[in-house]
Structure 1
Amino acid sequence: MKQHDSGSRYSDQNWLRFFMFTFYGTSVLVVSYFPLFYSHLGFSSPQIGLLYSVGPLISILANLFWSMMSDRIGAVRKIIAILLGGQLVTAIILARMTDFSSVMIILPVFYFFYYPVYPLADTMAIKIAQRHGRNFIAIRVFGSLGYSFFALTVGYLLRALGPEYSVGICIVVVVSALLISIGLKDAARAEPVPAPEDEAAEGQPQIKQARSGGLKEILLQKEVLWFFGSVFLLAIGYRMNEAFLTLSLKGMNAGDEVIGWALLASALSEIPVFFALSKYGERFKELPLLAFASLMFALRFLFMALTQEPGMVVAIQAMHSVSFGVYFVTAVRYITRIIPDHLRATGMAIFTVVWSSGAGLLSGTFGGLIFQDAGRTVFYYVATGFSLLAFTGFFSKHLLDIGGGTGRPFRKKSAGRQ
């Protein structure tokens, strides 16, 4: 029996690792190489920008809809399979489109199936890791490895085949991920059980675990809103850099190979931090770590404002490790503490909406105006400012918790209602 349990344990984790490794290849294609496909079709830069602006908007609805569906039926794997099937069908249609209006119609449908897979895969990784007594990052890091692998290989493939094959390669990756998803298994669904006050982690409030109203229940908690507010401020600066990094390098007369190395530097640098925090992260409280990551983001963007050399940008991108690497691991850990298991997919969807969708919409429009009218230096000073505001949010919450502020009354109030 023990041998069977051990085999199931490693099978569950390995299938999910294979899936993470493969599916993150679509991120490389959608974010970095689909623009080459649009350019090959003869679309202008404003048209390409418009195509990308619908992504964050669609993802707000898609992430919440599919994650709440997952929480309702308690089956993440089935939802992931449906989403991959939808991606496959829409990608096949997209590959046959040649005019802007047709692409503008089908691409939002592709995004509707594309974006929710990430928070749902993270949700499954969290549950599988908890089920087997492992750290979530030991599974999630394979997504970073897959991104790094595809960032290198896809570039060489498209150099040989041409940009018109970008969507075709994406189809192959999606089919591979769909086949791998057959081996995925959902962790047993936990019933919502009220947590006694004395079992709550010090300084870590627990959401009152009601039986219904998942989204409303999460958003009514001031501790959760404080956290997501700080995440949103940090995300604005991060998305500003992500959206305009290529333009910044082009403004420095950097070649395409330098841009590729800059992207690879950030992807690879986060991997050792993921491993380190998966082993030693529990020794540190989440809020101070999040405040530290915010400071590292501020320092990273300050260096971007001051540098004029493309080679220095590659080195600065390696700070992705102590900024995003520390932030992501710690933020997911914090969410697992304050949001109960039966609302986990919805909580991760809100986290994705705040970090990616909402901030992406604002940083794209607001950041674009600053970049165009004030220049790159002022642009990165503004990004630095948002990171410092996020630091203030995370650190002040930590001080309130250790000083007997909002954390203790919240737990007592919840306990009293149960």
Structure 2
Amino acid sequence: MKLHLMALEFFVYGTMATYSLLSQFLASEGLTESQIGLLMSVLPISSLYAHHLNFEIASNIGRINWLKKVVLFAGILIWGLFLFESFIAKFLFMIAFAFFFSATTPLAESAIVDIANNLNLNYGRIRLFGTFGFSFAALLMSGLIRIGFVTIFLTFSLLMFLTFLVAKGVKEVELNEDERVRSKKPLPLFFWLLLPIVIFGIAANNFNFVFLPVLMEKREYDISLASIAFSMMAITETPFLLWADTIVKKLGVVFILSSGIFVVGLRNLLVAMVDSPTMLLLVQLLQGWTYIVIYYSMMSLIQSFGAARIRAQKYFWIAMGIGPFLGSSLGGLLSEKLGLLNAYSIFGLVPMVISLLILLIFRKTLKI
């Protein structure tokens, strides 16, 4: 079972790496920054309705069972973005595709965390294979994308099919009666206070993921550079995941969140300042203390809620969708109105200031 869970993480995050290159494809199609931002924001904004509906469906037919279905639909629907040239057609297909693809990671992670806890497995070490999958897929695409942008869609569909095959070997994890009844128990106020912080941090981080390939396209860097950058960024998460539980326990959720947001801002600010491909790649190495520390600290907090964790997971993934929506849509508008580098500066300075305010306001609860 452990091998199945590691393989599931590997392929699920591999699809995310492949999807991350979609903005580069859209830029090559001649779309404007605001159009790219709007299209890339469809996936995260769908979380406002899709996560709730998908979790409801999954609670009735099983998380693994529904996961197997959504990956097949997503693997097919993504082709509409490639086959149709008009912006309207791409937008409509993105809406359909996003409903299913947005459910892939939340369903997989929700099931994997519960199975790992039931079998007394180290979730951090299992999640590490998600990082490996993201890095491998991004590195693979650095070569394949030279053949043509069609390889993005071919690779994505293949990885989705492999995810389906692996999921078939994962035993369904059921909620017991106590969890079904108590899952509606009110969540701690502290959880609701942290969600806006999570949204802000993820928004600033997502801006870089969406517009880094666009920046490279504008500067006419090598077409494979974005894939190489994503691969490097993913592998930098390895040290944290190896000792994630110990780090979170010693530093606390609040400090982890604020420090992660600070580094997100620092990375964005440095992107606006460097002017060479080599320096741009080196700056991306800061990724190891950004998304993953924000994500893992919150997942650790949620697991402490007991039976109420299922409800908390749903709201957490909705927040994880709102953040990228703001990063994509607002980022696209700022880039078009003020310029891409100025937008990077804004998404750099503001998070750094906010992170310091978080430490100041929550200084008495740093160990939570």
1:116 match: secondary structure: helix
Mapped partners of 2:10, 2:196: distance in 1: 31
Cα offset, 1:210, TM superposition: 6.1
Q: Shift of the alpha carbon at 1:225?
A: 1.3
Match of 1:26, SS state, is helix
- Structure showing greater radius of gyration is 1
Deviation at residue 20 of structure 1 after TM alignment: 1.4
Q: Which residue number in structure 2 is paired with residue 177 of structure 1?
A: 163
SS of 1:159's partner is: coil
Matched residues in 1 for 2:183 and 2:294: separation?
A: 30
Q: Distance in 2 between matches of 1:393 and 1:39?
A: 36
Q: Are the counterparts in 2 of residues 22 and 146 from structure 1 also a CA contact under 8 Å? A: yes
* 2:26 counterpart of 1:61: no
Q: Where does residue 120 of structure 2 map in the other structure?
A: 133
Alpha-carbon spacing, 1:189–1:289, altered in 2? closer, same or farther (3 Å): same
Q: Which amino acid counterpart does residue 393 of structure 1 have in structure 2?
A: I
Whether the 8 Å CA contact 1:236–1:362 is kept in 2: the answer is yes
In structure 2, which of residues 313, 331, 335 is the aligned counterpart of residue 367 of structure 1? 331
CA contact (8 A) 1:34 1:166 kept: no
| SS of residue in 1 equivalent to 2:169 | coil
Any conservation in 2 of the 1:77–1:186 contact (CA below 8 Å)?
A: yes
Structure 1 segment 317-356 matched on structure 2, within 5 A:
317-337=284-304, 339-344=305-310, 346-355=311-320
Q: Structure 1 residue 213: deviation in Å?
A: 4.3
Distance 2:287 2:69 in 1: 33
1:7-156 aligned at under 5 Å gives the runs 11=1, 13-33=2-22, 36=25, 44-45=31-32, 48-70=36-58, 72-73=59-60, 75-91=62-78, 97=84, 100-156=87-143
Deviation digits for residues 301-345 of structure 1, max 9, x if unmatched?
Answer: 3323433333222111101112233322222112222x333542x
Match of 2:350 among 377, 385, 389: 385
Structure 1 residue ranges without an equivalent (≥5): 1-10, 194-208, 408-418
Sort the Cα spacing of 1:157 and 1:280 in 2 relative to 1 into closer, same or farther, 3 A. Answer: same
Give the secondary-structure state (helix, strand or coil) at the position aligned to 2:47.
Answer: helix
1:79–1:128 CA distance, 2 compared to 1 (3 A): same
Query: For the residues of structure 2 that align with 1:374 and 1:242, how far apart are their CA atoms?
Result: 19
Identity of aligned residues (%): 19
With over 3 angstroms needed to count, the CA separation of the structure-2 counterparts of 1:341 and 1:122, relative to structure 1, is: farther
* Farther off after superposition, 120-129 or 289-298: 289-298
In the alignment, is residue 314 of structure 1 matched against residue 281 of structure 2? yes
TM-score with structure 2 setting the length: 0.86
Q: CA contact under 8 A between 1:233 and 1:390: conserved in structure 2?
A: no
Secondary structure of the equivalent of 2:172? coil
Q: Partner residue of 1:396?
A: 361
CA contact (8 A) 2:24 2:213 kept: no
TM-score by length of 1: 0.76
Q: Distance in 1 between matches of 2:257 and 2:95?
A: 33
**1:394–1:373 Cα change, 3 Å:** same
Q: Quick one: structure 1 residues 80 and 151, their matched pair in 2 at CA, closer, same or farther if it must change by over 3 Å?
A: same
- 1:233 corresponds to which of 182, 192, 200: 200
Q: Distance in 2 between matches of 1:247 and 1:171?
A: 23
Separation in structure 2 between the aligned mates of residue 327 and residue 289 of structure 1, nearest angstrom: 7
Report the CA distance between 1:238 and its aligned residue: 1.4
Q: Could you give the per-residue CA deviations for residues 142-201 of structure 1, whole angstroms, max 9, x where no partner exists?
A: 1111111111223423434x32343233222212111111111234534547xxxxxxxx
Decide whether aligned partners of structure 1 residues 100 and 287 sit closer, same or farther in structure 2, where only a CA change above 3 A counts.
closer
Find the counterpart in structure 1 of residue 237 from structure 2. Answer: 270
3-state SS of paired residue (2:362): helix
Which residue of structure 1 aligns with residue 215 of structure 2?
248
